[in-house]
Amino acid sequence: MKKYDGVNQAMLDRFATRPGRKALLPELSDKAQVALMCRMLVREGWDDHIAGHITYRLPNGNILTNPWELAWSELTASDIVTLDPKGNVIEGEWNVTPAIGLHLQLHAMRPDAHVVIHNHPHYSGIWACMQRVPPVYDQASAYCGVELPLYNEYEGTFENEATSMSAVEALGDAKWALLANHGSLVVGKDLRQAHLRAITLEWRSKRAYQVELGGGGTPLSDEEVNKVSIADDNGFPFIWEAMARKELRLDPNLVE
């Protein structure tokens, strides 16, 4: 059985579903979860002032997203904007980024992509600007596998529909990508999965950058990466809740 730090998946599943245990998080609205995601990712390096956008497609087809005017670090649940599948605002007091088309196209072409995250993170942004894919040097960098596409046809920002569509087509069925001279893109079936992918991408990029600054090292082989990668679609058990609790301790009002 696959193991994470010596704990097999069956054991993790049992702990994750064991009845009678204390709830790891209070009940949260969809909007509160999107606001939490923004706050959580800021601490992981996904923080370029007011740049970046997260979309979360609901079961009814509507889409939740962060507003254009506010930084991820200040968002609350009440700031989250609701869009229809075509990108029209149907609820909310703020505007939406002109680059939302990239997300709408991804949601339309990828039935599995209920969450789309784009920003200009610190370390993965460095690798994107170098037009290089960071090697995998440690276990935490390996959680989401080896393959990391690099989309290297920079044509400007994503307000242009043809530009964003070319990025969508280049992504294919990948879980994430580096956008050359631009930033990073992550998709997921839900917020938990997308969160793990986003933090793993930034950790992998940071660790690889540090190793290169230290004089270089030996990356893990693809075989080793596959041994420690997390095949479970629900992501690493408990990490979403732990990071969410951290944000709630710092600002309990963000869910309002």
In tens, the pLDDT along 99-132 reads 898 899 999 999 999 999 999 999 999 999 999 9
Q: To 10 degrees, the CA torsion angle through 140, 141, 146, 151?
A: 140
Parts of the chain with a pLDDT under 50? 1-8, 11
Place of tokens 């002109």: 98
Which residue in 101, 100, 44, 98 sits closest to 72, CA to CA? 44
Q: Which pLDDT value is given to residue 95?
A: 95
Domains by residue range for the chain, with CATH: 3-18+25-251 (3.40.225.10)
Over residues 54-90, the pLDDT tens digits come to 999 999 999 999 999 999 999 999 999 999 999 999 9
Taking the model in full, what pTM does it have?
0.88
Model pLDDT, residue 157: 52
Rounded to whole angstroms, the Cα distance separating 161 from 101 reads 7
d(CA 169, CA 190): 21
Instruction: Please give the Cα distance from 48 to 179 (Å, whole number).
Output: 15
